Amino acid sequence: MAIETDELSSDSPAPEAPPAAAPAPAGVPAPTGLTDANVDEDIEARSPVRLALAVAFPTIGAAMMVGGVFTGISPRPVAAVAGLLGVALALGIHRIKRGPLVANLLVALGLFVIGIVVLLPSVGDMLHVSGLAGSAVRGRSLLRPPVEFLSGWRAIVGWLMACVGFAGAWLALDVDRPSLGLLLPLPVAAIAGISVPKDSQVVSGLAVLVLFAIGLGLLSSEQSGGADGTRPTAAYEMRKALKALPLLAVLTLGLYFLATHADFLFPKSLIDPAQQPQKPKTVPLSQVQDRVLFSVESKLTGPWRIGGLDVYQGNAWRLPPFAANQLKPVNESGVVDAALPVGPAATFRVAGLGGAVLPGLPNTVAVRAQGPTLSYDARNGNIRLANGQVTPGLTYTVFGSPLAKVSDLKAINDTEFDKIDPKIRAYGLQIPPMPPAVASLIDQAPKTSKFDTYQFLFSHTLKDITAKGAGAPVDISADRVNDLIGGSKTGSPYEIVATQAMLARWIGIPSRIGYGFDQGTVVGNVREVRPNNGISFVEVYFPGKKWIPIIGTPEKAEPTVGSDPSLQKKDASIKPSNDIAVQLYLPTFTPPPSVLGKQIAVGVLLAIPFLLFLYLLYLLYPGLKKARLRSQRRAAALEAGTRARVALAYSEWRDYATDFGFFYPTDTPLMFLDRFIDDEEHNELAWLTTRTIWGDLQGADDPALATVAEELSRALRRRLASAQPGTVRLVAGVSRLSLRDPYAPETDLTLKRQPRKERSDEAIPVG
């Protein structure tokens, strides 16, 4: 007799449950679920050393990534050792099993000691670890990775990796969450990976992946022990690991190829910022702290050059592209340009200067310094620290080329200008067509030599253009130059210098805008240079003499080049105003905004889709696992016979009801009938199961009985689902209730069975 579909609905009234369940008859499956004793035995059966070793591998992977933020070879081993010591600390405290107070004290003391140990063998640093770490933290915003691995950073990295290793091992050993312990180092590796140099990111990432895979394999082996607590032998695990090595190597090489050669995974950007020239940024002089930046001991009075703007693009003078820099380390000889003769020298001593760029002389020939490694940019003429930032007290000597003589410059003809290096001509002569006022002015200039022509144009800008306004860099078009020369004849100091550079290009002389400092206050035998000594000036390129700075004064028409160093000066009346054009290259004690927040935000945005995908897999995993288990169990029951098939059919019905919230693990099939209104199919399945498992049909080997039980179970599950809302059916499909507390796990023939002599007398002989 068929019943209505909604008779199995959870909304239907069910008889009140009896106050206490009747004891199950002999042979009835015991209530499902692990007892506390089972859980404790399982935890005790785990090997703490194996769990700690499994966590150690991803910890080493995170250490490889964290160490990549710093220069040199030592950061990675130091970070790895600190992480392993953290894991060892957690393992030691786990074995000691002291009270909470003692354990917490040991943890705090142990982590602190690890940070001190990584400072060995420098005993002096160990005594000042607090100050060293504080100094590293204060300077973090001024450094661009990779940075120098100073003692303060050694201690910080040691404490960080010790905490990571300890926390991962603690989760695995004491919280009994080995999977979380294995995953804990990965976020640290991901955050550190943002700051790892691009050429090391792929290799470091693959190292993290491989080490995580090894740890995952160890954890899987640890959890694959038999029901009696036995585990695979070490020889077996070694053979299994050796068999997996080729596959791991192939996967690693495949990932490396995809990461380095497959543009469809990481398509190249249409615009590379490193290839684009950038506009300089300025800070008003009123916002800069007045202090001594550096002192100079030299016969020269300047200019003390910092860099230059050599690209004219979009009506603006710009910094050269970062990718176009020609940085090379300064070797032991100190020579950076062997093509020029050695001339005057200047000894610099850094005081309040920050950043990584050091002042030097035009046309630097050699640099002599002790301490940090220096680099020289052959295109822009910069002297830079290879790593880190400038520290007070740094002393170095710069040798420049001899000052050019006017007679030598006049002797250079146009043919020699045509032989200038094409790379210099490519950016040094880039300029839009000259405006009418410039063409008229050039027609008036002498044509005896390019030097004479440019001297006339340069002198005209000093005589006829009145300096007015701020000296901050601004766009200056050909029309604006036309107005300065033939119109208003009034412009800012920066516009005057930019006009002088553009005039040089219009007559075929490569030029650029140099910036730095000039003069300074004489104190004893040195000059102290402050921010208000900043200056921008034009530099012109003459064959054989290279870049020559030219600084003019309102009173004189002659450019300040010649054999007399005293001509290298400027008049106070044309000193740049309160907004000077060199502040971008004059770092102050005010740290720039940290990009860590933006980097973390980008990392989070990139991780969100991946995390959502993992969360979706996590939600759908129970449904997939239940489908796989059903297939395996049915295949095993089909081989075992009628009783196994009937028992499995009824267990599937009870597990399905459990997912919908009808969880009564102690109810026998007949007791479970009282939970619902009377139903013919339910009654028939309950009695068929009872008779087959415990009653008169125990010895029956009739496949028809099993088929009937399976059809009844299927019909009941279908009717129960159809009576529920769609959302309830969806939740039940991915529910973990039946996986955690199956009704009759004894009917699952796919599980590893205990030896027959250890089975309970009341276990169901379903085989």
Residue 409 and residue 339 share a domain: yes
Task: Say if 740 falls within a structural domain.
Answer: yes
Residue 624's H or E segment, with its range, is helix 596-640
Residue 327's H or E segment, with its range, is strand 327-329
| Tally of CA atoms within 13 A in the half-sphere of 30 that contains its CB | 7
Residue 244 and residue 129 share a domain: yes
pLDDT at 272: 60
Task: Supply 395's token pair.
Answer: 């002393």
Domain boundary among 558, 585, 612: 585
Eight-state DSSP code of residue 364: E
Residue 615 and residue 524 share a domain: no
Comparing C-alpha atoms, which of 387, 291, 328, 357 is closest to residue 515?
357
Mean pLDDT of 622-647: 87
| Per-position DSSP letters for 518-533, written without gaps between them | ---EEETTEEEE-GGG
pTM score, whole prediction? 0.50
3-state secondary structure 54-104: HHHHHHHHHHHHHHCCECCCCHHHHHHHHHHHHHHHHHHHHHHCCCHHHHH
Q: 615 in helix, strand or coil?
A: helix
Eight-state DSSP code of residue 481: H
| C-beta separation of 232 from 221 below 8 A | yes
User: How many domains does one find in the chain?
Assistant: 3
User: What digits encode the pLDDT tens for the residues 59-108?
Assistant: 998 888 888 888 888 888 999 999 999 999 999 888 887 677 888 888 88
Task: Say if 334 falls within a structural domain.
Answer: yes
Comparing C-alpha atoms, which of 377, 369, 384, 385 is closest to residue 332?
369
User: What digits encode the pLDDT tens for the residues 558-603?
Assistant: 344 443 333 333 443 333 333 333 333 333 444 556 667 777 877 7
Task: Provide the percentage of residues in the chain whose pLDDT is more than 70.
Answer: 74
Comparing C-alpha atoms, which of 257, 269, 348 is closest to residue 302?
348
pLDDT at 765: 35
More confident residue, 374 or 198: 374
Residue 733 CA to its chain's centroid (Å): 39
Categorize the per-residue pLDDT at 32 as very low, low, confident or very high, splitting at 50, 70 and 90.
Answer: very low
Task: Say if 487 falls within a structural domain.
Answer: no
Task: Supply 4's token pair.
Answer: 């209505």
Query: Residue 294 pLDDT more than 90?
Result: yes
Mean pLDDT of 666-688: 89
Residue 149 and residue 12 share a domain: no
Cα(84)–Cα(94) distance, rounded to whole angstroms? 15
pLDDT at 432: 92
Cis peptide leading into residue 23 (ω within 30°): no
Residue 184 and residue 43 share a domain: yes
User: What digits encode the pLDDT tens for the residues 535-547?
Assistant: 889 999 999 888 9
| C-beta separation of 367 from 383 below 8 A | yes
Residue 26 and residue 46 share a domain: no
| C-beta separation of 563 from 403 below 8 A | yes
| Tally of CA atoms within 13 A in the half-sphere of 567 that contains its CB | 17
User: What digits encode the pLDDT tens for the residues 448-492?
Assistant: 999 999 999 998 888 888 888 777 788 999 999 999 898 888 888
Task: Say if 480 falls within a structural domain.
Answer: no
pLDDT at 557: 33
Residue 42 and residue 23 share a domain: no
Cα(266)–Cα(260) distance, rounded to whole angstroms? 9
Task: Say if 504 falls within a structural domain.
Answer: no
Query: Residue 11 pLDDT more than 60?
Result: no
pLDDT at 529: 93
Q: 433 in helix, strand or coil?
A: coil
Comparing C-alpha atoms, which of 342, 346, 324, 323 is closest to residue 333?
342
Residue 415 and residue 556 share a domain: yes
pLDDT at 716: 92
Domain boundary among 561, 585, 609: 585
Residue 549 and residue 638 share a domain: no
Spell out the residues 6+ positions from residue 51 whose beta carbon is closer than 8 angstroms to its own: 169, 172, 173, 178, 181, 219, 222
Residue 167 and residue 293 share a domain: no
Residue 137 and residue 25 share a domain: no
pLDDT at 396: 93
Residue 213 and residue 332 share a domain: no
Q: Tell me which residue range forms the domain holding 683.
A: 5-32+599-758
pLDDT at 269: 57
| Per-position DSSP letters for 83-95, written without gaps between them | HHHHHHHHHHHHH
More confident residue, 207 or 89: 89
- With 0-12 / 13-18 / 19 or more C-beta atoms within 10 angstroms meaning exposed / middle / buried, residue 541 is buried
